[in-house]
Amino acid sequence: MKGFQARELVRVIEIDRKICKGCDFCKAFCPAEAIDGKYGTAHTIDKTRCVACGQCLVHCPFGAPRDMVDGVDKVIEKLETKQLTVVGTIAPAVRVAIGEEFGMEPGSLVTAKLYGALKQAGFKILDTNFTADQTILEEGLELIGKIRHYALGEPAGQPVGPLPQFTSCCPAWIRYAELYYPELIPHLSSVKSPMMIAGALAKTYGAKEVWQVQPEELFMVGIMPCTAKKFEASRPEFTSAAAYWNRHGKAGRYPDVDAVLTTRDLARLFKKLSIDFANVPEFTDQDNPFVQYSGAGVLFGNTGGVMEAALRTAYFVITGGELAVPEFKQVRGLAGVKEAGATMKDAKTGRDVTLKVAVAHGLKENAKPLLEQVRAGRSPYHFIEIMNCPGGCVNGGGQPVNPMDSLW
């Protein structure tokens, strides 16, 4: 994409130069080589290269990098405003990490407690797993459209992007592509991330049909394991709700997502509101249509999860049948790059289609070789999942900071 200009980054992460010892740990974990400074001198982050992933923050042994976008007090103020409905959308990786902030074992799954604490704080819930299902369906169908066109020779009803298709739900990866591989942007799936789908859905259908409020009376909060989501929410192109309401005679600015809290931020919010998380009554919110989801939605929190979920969908749509064993295990696990292939019979034409997919987590070491292959026109894959953080969002830059992390 000649002449492409990456969007100016909202400054999410900064290094506190008074605390920084210049030990260089952060440089080892920065995927974008955005940290400047000689060994032994205080470092700085160049925001024209930073992807806002927060990996420097969770790995610095001295706590020098800071998350500069703090929405905790603003969200509390909105929760205390009677005329407002505050909706929280909770990513899958938050529910296995927030317990750690309250003395529970790392990895404890506390979904019902988290729902209970959110209810106590005054949130309505739209589980991000619900919109992860929508992302998967849309991404899977987009891929199938390309496969039918390029592999089965079907005419395309509308313009289709090139193969391989890349996943688009990790905002640090999107920022990296914009900065370092702009010519690969047409390969990105056009589908929004689950958080951004949740925002648009809450401010339109949710406001009208579920909570029956005006869009200006709804405040949408993304609750994410990720600092880069703060940048994603600030992108001015996410205006679906405003477009919808403007078409329906309500002129105004309705950002799809108003604020993002990381897992750490949410723990601080609960503490400020004196919510005793460990003893909060569990809540399942069973009558809420926005907390229903499939196992595919849950997989989003791990590396390989998006790919596995999309492959299951592709298999169902192409063959017309369910997988006998509903798992593509080759894309699970923590290997830096994983690949899988699956041959399936197209129910329409009777022809066999073989899908080749790859999954990479960690931009510098693992994704880069796959990107270079695509750039050179030598990629054997149809679909590539890329997540910035090692292991996927469970190890995101907004998760609890464990001092031991800096030692590996």
- The residues assigned a catalytic role are 139, 142, 169, 189, 229, 232, 237, 393
Of residues 74, 113, 120, the one with CA closest to residue 97: 113
- Closest CB 397 distance from ligand SF4, rounded Å: 6
Q: How far apart are CA 175 and CA 10, in angstroms?
A: 12
CB of 263 to ligand SF4, least distance (A): 10
Question: What gap in Å lies between CA 37 and CA 57, rounded to an integer?
Answer: 16
Does 370 bind ligand SF4 (CB under 6 A)? Our answer is no
Stretch that binds ligand SF4, among 203-211, 215-223, 310-318, 389-397 (CB under 6 A): 389-397
**Cα–Cα distance between 248 and 7 in angstroms, integer?**
30
* Only segment of 66-74, 202-210, 265-273, 390-398 that touches ligand SF4 (CB under 6 A): 390-398
Between 112 and 335, CB nearer to ligand SF4: 335
Q: To the nearest whole angstrom, how small is the minimum distance from the Cβ of residue 181 to ligand SF4?
A: 16
Chain position whose Cβ is nearest to ligand SF4: 396
Quote the tokens at residue 113: 């407690």
Query: Could you tell me the smallest distance in angstroms from the CB atom of residue 55 to ligand SF4?
Result: 8
Segment near ligand SF4 (CB under 6 A); pick from 82-90, 117-125, 222-230, 291-299: 222-230
DSSP E strand boundaries for 4-119:
13-15, 35-36, 44-45, 65-67, 85-90
Stretch that binds ligand SF4, among 11-19, 117-125, 165-173, 184-192 (CB under 6 A): 165-173
- In three-state secondary structure terms, 222 is strand
Is 13:67 a contact under the CB 8 Å cutoff? yes
d(CA 278, CA 388) in angstroms, rounded, equals: 31
Query: Judged by CB, which is closer to ligand SF4: 26, or 170?
Result: 170
Other CB atoms within 10 A of residue 367 CB: 27
Residue showing tokens 């939605």: 297
The CA distance from 145 to 183, in Å, is 22
Residues in the chain: 408
Given the rule CB under 6 A, which of 99-107, 221-229, 278-286, 362-370 is the region that contacts ligand SF4? 221-229
Distance, C-alpha 324 to centroid of its chain = 29
Say how far apart CA 94 and CA 326 lie, in whole Å. Answer: 25
CA neighbor of 67 nearest in space, from 390, 400, 406: 400
Closest CB to ligand SF4 among 218 and 226? Answer: 226
- Using the rule CB under 6 A, is 13 a contact of ligand SF4? no
DSSP-derived letter for residue 270 is: H
396 binding ligand SF4? (CB under 6 A): yes
One symbol per residue from 273 to 302: x for binding ligand SF4 (CB under 6 A), - otherwise; what is it?
------------------------------
Rounded Cα distance, 164 and 175, in Å: 19
388 lies in the site for ligand SF4, by CB under 6 A? yes
Interface with ligand SF4, residue 389, by CB under 6 A: yes
Should residue 228 be labelled a site residue for ligand SF4 when binding is judged by CB under 6 A? yes
Which of 58, 144, 296, 393 binds ligand SF4 (CB under 6 A)? It is 393
Our finding on whether 53 is near ligand SF4 (CB under 6 A) is: yes
Strands 383-387 vs 352-361: parallel, antiparallel or unpaired: parallel
Residue in 98, 163, 170, 298 binding ligand SF4, rule: CB under 6 A: 170
Q: Binding to ligand SF4 by residue 172, rule CB under 6 A?
A: yes
- List residues near ligand SF4 by CB under 6 A: 53, 170-172, 225-226, 228, 387-389, 392-393, 396
